[in-house]
């Protein structure tokens, strides 16, 4: 109980900050006269009041946060944030159940981008901008989560580079203090976001759409203000802009920060993930394009390449945009895209999945085992980017992998038990746990998650949060050991 009181105070603060962010959709609502202004004013007032009350009443419980408090804070921030954020939706959209609204906001805050809403083109613009904003804020919170909180848990994968700092990566610990680091990262996030809006605007989007899509591109979320997603514009220029910024957002923002600070591209080269991430994704684009051409899905290579690259980058980076119904492609292509989404993006980015660094560590570990079989006396430390990775990190990654796979299997089975077909159940689980968004079949890019039952919706809501908080962070809260004094 004491721990709850301690984290209540920062939670109150977060609620007050959230209320500030209501100003943007409120402004949009007033500008477009879409009639949702009351919903936002009410929600804003409630956020502010509740936040202030909590903040004031827990004044006496202020103390330094321990790692355990940090975990609790993160879990409650995401759960509570999603709950509060449902208010405008519930008030502005008649007939929307709390289950669906919570799914929608959780999908936003976890930057998943799966939606239960249809008729997005006619929905209030302020609601659309609110959805986008949730994703953008989720991405922002996530960057700090990855930089500051996960390393405390020892599961982030990145903390291995923090202790030792020889060679070209000596700036890896970005600044000495977490708050300074967070500020620096937000500045970089903000600046790239600004560039993204301008690029979208210049490529032909309306400035409203540009802002809305910048929000979901930078956070690798995938919400769109159109039912047809990027198919609405059918413009290669806009798609190219989206591809570039999705790739940028799938690279560690810490690395972007270093590049920004050092004014040289060297940190990208020394980053153990960035190169692999971009390489794997781009190679897949070409490969899928060739496959689609061979299967006769498109008449010529350039068309195939255009559709393949946009959708592959979108799904592999766990964004979830689509410019065509790739559900109709031969099953290998969308499956491969979903698979990429589970590992292609970098740690410290806004993408989901197990992250490239864990994938590389797993590969290195497998290779070590092979070497050990052939040369029993060999000494083979796991090395990544010239650094020796301690065995305990490898163990953490293996445990992470085990839970990841168990979670996918369990939830797929639960969804099948509740009546979904295997492809829908599996793809929905994978798309949710990786924070991708659209799955296949019933939850494919051309449909929404609204057809699912309440139970199935809650399972997937849980899956999104689970994936977003990198499994351990969420699961540990359910462990008795966490609550023991």
Partner 1 sequence: MKIVILGAGQVGSSVAENLVSEANDITVVDTNAERLRKLQDRFDLRTVTGNAAHPAILAQAGAADADMLLAVTQSDETNMVACKLAATMFNIPTKIARIRSADYLSHQEIFAPQNFAVDLSICPEQVLTDYIVKLLEFPEALQVLEFAGGKVSLVAMRAFHGGPLVGHELQYLRQHMPQIDTRVAAIFRHDSPIIPEGKTVIEADDEVFFIAATGNIRGVMRELRRMDKPVKRVMIGGGGNIGRRLAKAIENKYEVKIIEFNKAGAERLAAELDKTLVLAGDVTDEELLEAENVGEMDVYCALTNDDENNIMSSLLAKRMGARKVIALINRGSYVNLVQAGQIDIAISPAQATIGTLLAHVRRGDCVAVHSLRRGAAEALELVAHGDAKSSKVVGRRVEEIDLPKGTTIGAIVRRHERGGGREGDGKTAYDHEVIIAHHDTIIEPDDHVIVFVVNKRMVSKIEKLFQVDVSFV
The residue (of 80 and 385) whose beta carbon lies closer to partner 1 is 385
Q: What interhelical angle do 391-417 and 356-374 show, nearest 10?
A: 120
Q: Is 103 in a helix, a strand, or coil?
A: helix
The residue (of 122 and 379) whose beta carbon lies closer to partner 1 is 379
How many binding residues for partner 1 (CB under 8 A)? 11
The residue (of 236 and 386) whose beta carbon lies closer to partner 1 is 386
Half-sphere exposure of 41 (CA within 13 A, CB side): 6
Could you tell me how far CA 87 lies from the centroid of its own chain? 22
Q: Which of residues 388-447 bind partner 1 (CB under 8 A)?
A: 388
Closest by CA to 76, choosing from 5, 23, 151, 159, is 5
**Both structure tokens of 175:** 């600044």
The residue (of 162 and 372) whose beta carbon lies closer to partner 1 is 372
Mention every residue, 6+ apart, whose C-beta is less than 8 A from residue 254: 147, 158, 172, 174, 185, 348
CB of residue 378 to partner 1, shortest distance in Å: 6
163 near partner 1, rule: CB under 8 A: no
Distance CA 193, CA 484 (A): 43
Q: Which of residues 62-91 bind partner 1 (CB under 8 A)?
A: none
Closest by CA to 137, choosing from 85, 199, 100, 87, is 85
Q: What count of other Cβ atoms lies within 10 Å of the Cβ of residue 105?
A: 25
The residue (of 172 and 209) whose beta carbon lies closer to partner 1 is 172
Closest by CA to 364, choosing from 344, 345, 400, 391, is 391
Q: Is 194 in a helix, a strand, or coil?
A: helix
Q: What interhelical angle do 422-433 and 332-341 show, nearest 10?
A: 30
DSSP letter at 97 equals -
Burial of 177 (0-12, 13-18, 19+ CB in 10 A): exposed
The residue (of 119 and 377) whose beta carbon lies closer to partner 1 is 377
Distance CA 401, CA 297 (A): 35
The residue (of 264 and 380) whose beta carbon lies closer to partner 1 is 380
Q: Which of residues 363-392 bind partner 1 (CB under 8 A)?
A: 371, 375-381, 383, 386, 388
The residue (of 265 and 379) whose beta carbon lies closer to partner 1 is 379
Q: Which residues are near partner 1 by CB under 8 A?
A: 371, 375-381, 383, 386, 388
């Amino acid at each position: 109980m004491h721990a709850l009181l301690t984290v209540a105070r920062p939670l109150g603060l977060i609620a007050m900050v959230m209320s500030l962010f209501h100003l943007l959709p409120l402004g949009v609502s007033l500008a477009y006269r879409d009639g949702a202004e009351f919903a936002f004013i009410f929600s804003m007032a409630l956020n502010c009041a509740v936040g202030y009350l909590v903040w004031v009443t827990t004044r006496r419980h202020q103390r330094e946060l321990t790692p355990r408090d940090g975990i609790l804070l993160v879990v409650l921030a995401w759960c509570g944030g999603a709950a509060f954020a449902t208010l405008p939706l519930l008030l502005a959209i008649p007939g929307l159940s709390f289950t669906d609204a919570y799914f929608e906001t959780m999908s936003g805050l976890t930057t998943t981008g799966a939606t239960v809403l249809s008729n997005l083109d006619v929905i209030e613009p302020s609601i659309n901008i609110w959805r986008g904003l949730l994703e953008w804020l989720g991405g922002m919170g996530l960057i700090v989560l990855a930089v500051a909180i996960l390393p405390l848990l020892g599961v982030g994968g990145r903390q291995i580079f923090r202790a030792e700092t020889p060679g070209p990566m000596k700036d890896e610990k970005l600044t000495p203090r977490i708050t300074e680091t967070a500020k620096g990262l937000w500045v970089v996030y903000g600046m790239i976001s600004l560039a993204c809006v301008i690029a979208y605007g210049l490529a032909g989007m309306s400035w409203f759409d540009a802002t809305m899509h910048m929000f979901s591109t930078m956070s690798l979320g995938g919400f769109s203000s159109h039912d047809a997603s990027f198919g609405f514009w059918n413009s290669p220029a806009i798609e190219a802009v989206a591809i570039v910024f999705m790739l940028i957002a799938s690279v560690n923002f810490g690395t972007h920060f270093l590049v920004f600070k050092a004014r040289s591209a060297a940190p990208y080269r020394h980053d153990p993930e960035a190169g692999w991430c971009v390489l794997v994704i781009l190679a897949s684009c070409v490969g899928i394009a060739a496959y689609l051409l061979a299967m006769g899905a498109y008449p010529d290579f350039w068309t195939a390449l255009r559709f393949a690259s946009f959708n592959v980058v979108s799904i592999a980076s766990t964004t979830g945009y689509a410019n065509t119904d790739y559900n109709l492609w031969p099953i290998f292509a969308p499956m491969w895209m979903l698979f990429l989404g589970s590992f292609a993006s970098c740690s410290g980015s806004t993408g989901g999945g197990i992250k490239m660094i864990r994938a590389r560590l797993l590969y290195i570990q497998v290779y070590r085992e092979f070497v050990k079989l052939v040369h029993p006396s060999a000494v083979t430390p796991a090395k990544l980017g010239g650094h020796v990775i301690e065995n305990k990190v490898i163990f953490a990654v293996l445990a992470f992998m085990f839970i990841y796979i168990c979670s996918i299997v369990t939830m797929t089975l639960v969804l099948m038990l509740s009546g979904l077909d295997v492809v829908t159940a599996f793809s929905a689980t994978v798309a949710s746990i990786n924070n991708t968004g659209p799955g296949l079949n019933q939850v494919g890019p051309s449909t929404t998650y609204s057809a699912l039952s309440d139970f199935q919706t809650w399972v997937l809501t849980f899956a999104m949060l689970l994936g977003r908080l990198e499994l351990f962070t969420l699961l540990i809260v359910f462990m008795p050991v966490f609550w023991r004094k």
